[in-house]
Amino acid sequence: MKELTKKEKEKLLDIAESAIATALAGHEPAPPRLDELPARLGEDGASFVTLTRNGRLRGCIGSVQAHRPLAEDVHHNALAAAFRDPRFPPLAPAEWPLTEVEVSVLSPPEPLPYEDLNDLLGKIGPGMGLVLEHPLGRATYLPQVWEQLPEPELFLTSLAQKAGLAPTVYADPATRLLYYTVDKFTRHDLE
């Protein structure tokens, strides 16, 4: 995945922030006009938008697989992170000035084959996002989660719990793991 330019990152942050601010003002946010953006932002891409307030998570929603233009994906995920993350009440206008927006653009996920838990533990680490897929549940953790869960075993246990599965799921042949990287940024990163 070729890293985005500073201008492309600024545009994606503008799109995310504008969508949330417009909705908070009581208006319907219009999707971005792709013809007014750098061409790369009109290509299909997968993103997550993470909102934090005072360093604490306030919402995070995204797409693991690219299925629409990146600019539109960021627009939709920003609105979902602000107003439809089931872990939080909808963002209130009073919270907005204290909320930081982070955009993560994901590389295409690739299969992560492994023999057993020890083999898997040796293959994962900081910088990797993981997708856990099983017939009974699915979950992902962005690479940023390594900051809170730096131990590979704890990371995997927590990911299984997020998917509603037992930590032993990694021994199940029906389990599939995918990995990806992200290009993540906030306004502060671009200053």
Q: Output the pLDDT for position 77.
A: 98
Beta bridge partners of 184: 104
Residues 94 and 120 in one domain: no
How far is the C-alpha of 105 from the C-alpha of 62, rounded, in Å? Answer: 10
Q: Output the pLDDT for position 1.
A: 57
Residues 30 and 98 in one domain: yes
DSSP string, 5-40: PHHHHHHHHHHHHHHHHHHHTTS-PPPP-GGGS-GG
Write down which residue in 106, 139, 162 finishes a domain. 106
Residues 148 and 167 in one domain: yes
Closest CA to 63 of 81, 90, 42: 81
Query: Does pLDDT of 161 surpass 80?
Result: yes
Q: At what angle do helices 70-83 and 6-24 cross, to 10 degrees?
A: 40
Query: Does pLDDT of 3 surpass 90?
Result: no
Q: Output the pLDDT for position 71.
A: 98
Query: Does pLDDT of 134 surpass 90?
Result: yes
Exposure on the CB side of residue 12, measured as CA atoms within 13 A = 34
Q: Determine what percent of the chain is predicted with pLDDT higher than 90.
A: 97
Residues 71 and 129 in one domain: no
- Decide: 139 and 163 in contact? Cβ < 8 Å: yes
Residues 27 and 117 in one domain: no
- Decide: 135 and 163 in contact? Cβ < 8 Å: no
Query: Does pLDDT of 2 surpass 80?
Result: no
We report the CATH number of the domain holding residue 34 as 3.30.700.20
Exposure on the CB side of residue 145, measured as CA atoms within 13 A = 22
Residues 144 and 115 in one domain: yes
Q: What is the mean pLDDT of the chain?
A: 96
Residues 98 and 13 in one domain: yes
Residues 114 and 87 in one domain: no
Q: What is the mean pLDDT of residues 153-163?
A: 97
Q: What is the pLDDT of residues 7-26, one digit of tens each?
A: 999 999 999 999 999 999 99
How far is the C-alpha of 34 from the C-alpha of 13, rounded, in Å? Answer: 15
**pTM (whole model) above 0.85:** yes
We report the CATH number of the domain holding residue 159 as 3.30.1490.150
Q: What is the mean pLDDT of residues 161-172?
A: 96
Residues 27 and 64 in one domain: yes
Closest CA to 175 of 165, 189, 184, 183: 165
Q: Look up the domain containing 13 and give its range.
A: 6-106
Query: Does pLDDT of 191 surpass 90?
Result: no
Count of domains for the chain? 2
Q: What is the mean pLDDT of residues 42-67?
A: 96
Write down which residue in 78, 106, 134 finishes a domain. 106
Write down which residue in 106, 127, 155 finishes a domain. 106
User: Is 164 domain-assigned?
Assistant: yes
Residues 66 and 95 in one domain: yes
Q: What is the pLDDT of residues 86-130, one digit of tens each?
A: 999 999 999 999 999 999 999 999 999 999 999 999 999 999 999
